Structure 1
Amino acid sequence: MAVLHQAAAQAAAGRTYTNPVFAGQFPDPFVLKHRGRYYAFGTTGRGRTADGRIFTLLTSANLVDWQPAGGALTPPAGAEGADFWAPEVVYHQGTFYMYYSMGGGAIAATVGHRLHVATSQTPQGPYRQVAVLDVPGSQFTIDAHPYLDADGKWYLFYARDFTDSDDGYRPGTGLVVDRLLDMTRLAGRSRTVMRARHDWTVFEKNRTMPLYGNRTFAEWHTLEGPFVRRHGGKYYCFYSGANFLTPRYGVDYCVASTIMGPYSDAGAEKGPRVLHAVPGHVRGPGHHSHVLGPDGKTEYLVYHAWDPGMKERQLCIDKLAWTAQGPRCLGPTYTPQPQP
């Protein structure tokens, strides 16, 4: 028996994967590991899966071989024509909570986007919407990321709109954090984590925004997709920046000593340090999540990147390393890599 186990281990060690690990459309991937199995949730926008649900669902035993499992969210009443973006799922006291944004029509619609919560008793769903997380003063609130701190308290990081240019910051989406009173209620005492202040994060210049009365902004910037990790006693808030269609899009981070900040992105002036495009090979890597590999130790970034024809954002994985210069993804890779 020992010989058989050794042979199996040696065979597994020789296996490789090549990105993408799922070649279909799978933007904004989030992966939940629950009881040794992986569940990946991806944005569907206004689309529906074959079973009429929202958010594409995949399952895997190893982060590489993924099987389609239908859709995750039952469409809420009155949501016809709405966009659904960036689902994330956590497990708390016997219930799975899904956080996502929903808004009317396209990004320029005057309805805006708001954060919502759905629940399920199983990781694959179906999830049913149970609450709206209102953020007063914001018409565009997306990319919710729930985080359980070491003290047992839950926090919610998300991206929201800022239209001012106070203190040298740029108009656009920035990152904030708030306490969760429970899994479906915000404390309403949010703090700014990070706002745009570097040239590389511009989404579009001279952008007219119907959401703000057709106001035109000389520059509109994007920070989005927050994901938090505690490492070495500090809090690292990873995020994606810039226009997802451009080669500038990638993942950077800011860091703080306490979860509510203040956060610093010192060193991010020239572009994304964690994950960035590879000219001629990988375009638009980002909007990621973090997950441990099957060994329970190795940390992976799960992210999307464009196919060569820029028709689909596809599911990719690569290792994360904590270096003396800060966290760095060992990618994006496009050649065979050792399988997790």
Structure 2
Amino acid sequence: MKPLSERLNDRLERRDRRSWEDGEAQDQLHAPDRDPEVDELVTLARRLQSTSHLQADPDFASQLERRMLIQHAALSRKQPAHRCFFPRMWHMNPAPAIALGFCLLVLLLGTSMLVVAASITNPANPLYVLKRWEQHVQVSLSNSPTPQAELDLQYARERLHTLASLTNPAHDDAYRQALADLDKQMNDATRAISALSVVPERNRLRNELSSFEAEERHTLRTFLPQLDVPDRLVTTDELGRLGDIVPRLLSVEIVLSVRSSRHIIISISGDNIQPGAQLLMDGQVMEAQGSFHNGVYVFMLSLSGNQLPRNIGILNTDNTAAQTSTITVKSSNENSNGDGGSGNNGDHGKGNNGGKPGKTPAPHH
């Protein structure tokens, strides 16, 4: 039921729409919702209105109305209503408001950083670590092995596309890190696909993996002319792991001249060494006269000092490269002076493990 004030207003509005002589009495008699309290107040109002000495002066009423409106406007400016939850809570107790504001700020910044990190492709960017963490979480949340294998393959594609922007020599470290990430992601994808128990899904993803490996080989070969020698070495190693035809060194021998230790002959034997290949010494391309016979490349040159190279390799005409630190040093009278290498720590394209290239080692400069 409406309050008395609203019921009175309704009755007065109906009364204003009719004249008292023509309709009010009939309205009261036939109204379906007759209200004794309202009827009594309406009768009182009619009597007051008909009493002339109780009527307010029109000028006074108008002046009073203006003063009330001005006073109301002044009070509204001094005491604004606090209708928002957060400002009201701030005035009541600022500590929870501060904590809530901090949480909202962290949530906003965290979401924004994830959105920004998703578009980062340079491993040197600090947000790249956040992107890798996000990808790791997505793979971990994948309950089925099939989605996990698909995600691993997708991330490998993303890392391959990352390399295109890092072929500039100024990004050497970032390029090698991205290439190492690509190799790891490929291994993860291969293991995940091999672990699938559903044969149709396993065969489908194996076909996708084979197609992607062919794409990766083609893409890495297009990078080779833009890379410096150390990056060509690690890229060649990756091509070898993908089953591409790359040079592999089997043996390197340095023969010292009896007349001068600065005059040396370097013999390099191996597989897939192309005619016209250039000599590499400690990661640098050397101007040396060479001849190629039966898979053995022979170079004759004079050293600028007495220090022998620690690493020797070749750079093929297709820009693939191989290098090793396992070097045999002899004099020209065939008396061995011992080995001048330090094992296989600096080998790239060194024949081992049944002729398969090993994992990428750190190159020597």
TM-score range, shorter chain: under 0.3
Using CA pairs under 8 Å that are at least 6 residues apart, name the structure with larger relative contact order, 1 or 2: 1
| Structure with the greater alpha carbon radius of gyration | 2
Please identify which structure carries the higher strand content: 1
Under a length normalisation based on structure 1, what TM-score does the superposition of the two structures give? 0.21
Please identify which structure carries the higher helix content: 2
